[in-house]
Amino acid sequence: MRRPAKKYWVKEVNTISTYPPEGTFAKSGEEIARIMARKDVSPKGTGSAIRMVQYFINRSGKNLSAGRRKELELAKKILQNKIRKNKG
């Protein structure tokens, strides 16, 4: 008997709100963080930018190369540090 295919919630999300310019996630981690921190891309703040980067990682799943994942994680870390600096 076959097991049912796993259902991933992220696969079904397709709303369009604010989003980064095309090709953003193909850049370096520093560049991704700079773009995502802009008010026109993340009007709700840096936390929103971090969630969008994580969402992209989740959407990419197994198709994301190790090098690309490393750059995206670097972008998240830069954005998280920005939040810490603003609070302290």
Q: 20, 36 in Cβ contact below 8 A?
A: yes
| Contacts of residue 29, Cβ cutoff 8 Å, sequence gap at least 6 | 70, 71, 72, 73, 74, 75, 77, 78
Tokens of 18: 């604010």
Report the candidate in 15, 17, 54 with the shortest Cα–Cα distance to residue 33. 54
Question: Would you write out the chain's pLDDT as a tens digit for each of its 88 residues?
Answer: 777 767 666 666 655 566 788 899 999 999 999 999 999 888 888 999 999 999 899 988 889 999 999 999 999 999 999 999 988 6
* pTM to 2 decimal places: 0.78
pLDDT at 73: 96
Q: Distances from the Cα of 43 to the Cαs of 8, 40, 58, 70, in angstroms? A: 27, 6, 22, 25
